[in-house]
Chains A and B, each alone.
Chain A
């Protein structure tokens, strides 16, 4: 088990991502940050705080549970459904930034796109992830990446955040072949 990102690394990555989101969207006015529970939701909150500090105005933030849209429900033990909260303005015509901790097969994001489609039609959907570990199974890419971590499929990547785990770190478990 090795530490891939330490607490300062995570903090710097999130600040950079916040700046990149603002640069790409020319400000925070039209964007909505939607975190995917549970850790993606905490990352969304942190990015929204950074953006508020930079811009001096609040940015819309919410969370989107994608459990009911997963295509692998039958392959795993039952998952608990997490809360979904969409800012009252809705997502119609807005630039939605989906935020997740680890970007792997791309299936979570496919499910998130389906879930979004049920709620409305955003002007654009972008994707921010803390860690991209590769091994995509679908033609989906991230717009903002905290760190690219080359891994083997047998390894697992664990993200720990202070809000849940009491510490900020990203760990890689298992041997690379």
Chain B
């Protein structure tokens, strides 16, 4: 495996391999050892053409814990804001000898475009592209679910997950549906019809418009952020109505099974899709998701960069 562009690039073995690697790496991070020499001398570029806190910091921490050199590069303050094309930016990164490019971009398919350039020799890691995919987030979500509810199993067979909210604009939802399905979990998407994408019937997931009836059935409730910045249209009458039908509040929390956990990829709109008391409750693993993100991204960097370069593997 050279690039991580989509969950579709992963086989079940690949996915479990990344989760297992992350498990061992998280034990290291928990202990006294914070830094490993594994990627010493390798350069990783964080190319963020769209705003991000968690993902960028998480990839940066992961790369640094593996002793790689990190170059951070965001749209604001770089030539991207002067209108430089993605291809020209990539050419610059290639000339500087980047071993991997972690890219976040507003356009779906931008990482694929980068990976398809023949002269790019490094790995491309999709850190979220438009409304397409966010594979590292899905992997850290699966890692968190496995840690809490996996009971020692390698996959997530039999676990029921509800993904609630703005599925239409969510790359997190798309990657999660693909990965959770690959790992054997059952996904239910809960959203108003206006916030479900065209063709959602073909996704490997059940669809529901009624949150209350789903809550008591599932082991994991994953709330999605309402992505107001991507909304050019009116998708629901107003925030209060959305919150009443699809927001997770204390009353709804009481409907959930005692072992069920609450997740959110962040950043949260407190009071809109999730009530503050719920986000801060003992059932919420939202902060832990962030911590796990570093271990999972270390595992991704290890799997993509540590072994022999592809092509020379037979030597």
Contacts and interface: CB of A to CB of B under 8 A. Distances in A.
Interface of A: 65, 68-69, 73-84, 86, 114, 118-120
Contacts of A84: 24, 27-28
Contact of A69 (B24, B37, B307): B37
Contacts of B306: 73-74, 78
B88 to A, nearest CB: 30
Given A73-B38, A73-B306, A80 B33 contact: no
Nearest to B304: A78
Nearest to A111: B37
B38 A69 contact: yes
A75, A81, A86, A119: most-surrounded residue (chain B CB, <10 A) = A81
Given A73-B307, A119-B32, A83 B27 contact: yes
Prevailing SS type, chain A contact patch: loop
Contacts of A68: 28, 36-38, 66, 302
A68 B29 CA distance: 13
Contacts of B315: 75
Contact of A78 (B25, B31, B307): B307
A69 B39 CA distance: 10
Given A73-B38, A74-B309, 5 more contacts: A74-B307, A79-B307, A80-B20, A84-B28, A119-B33
A78 B303 contact: yes
Nearest to A118: B33
Prevailing SS type, chain B contact patch: loop
A88 to B, nearest CB: 11
A114 B38 CA distance: 12
Give the interface residue-count category, chain B: 20 to 34
Interface string B33-44: 101111000000
Contacts of B308: 74-78
Given A65-B24, A73-B306, A74-B308, A80 B17 contact: yes
Contacts of A82: 24
Across the A-B interface, the 8 shortest Cβ-Cβ residue pairs: A78-B307, A81-B24, A68-B36, A118-B33, A68-B38, A73-B306, A77-B313, A81-B21
Contacts of B32: 118-120
A81 B33 contact: no
A120 to B, nearest CB: 7
A31 to B, nearest CB: 21
18 contacts: A68-B28, A68-B37, A68-B66, A69-B37, A69-B38, A73-B307, A74-B307, A74-B308, A76-B307, A77-B307, A77-B308, A77-B313, A81-B25, A83-B27, A84-B24, A86-B31, A118-B36, A119-B33
B127 to A, nearest CB: 21
Nearest to A79: B307
Contacts of B36: 68-69, 118
A86 to B, nearest CB: 8
A79 to B, nearest CB: 7
Contacts of B307: 73-74, 76-79
A114 B35 CA distance: 12
Contacts of B27: 83-84
B17, B21, B306, B309: most-surrounded residue (chain A CB, <10 A) = B306
A81 B306 CA distance: 11
Given A65-B24, A74-B308, A81 B37 contact: no
B17, B302, B303: most-surrounded residue (chain A CB, <10 A) = B302
A24 to B, nearest CB: 28
Contacts of B313: 77
A124 B307 CA distance: 32
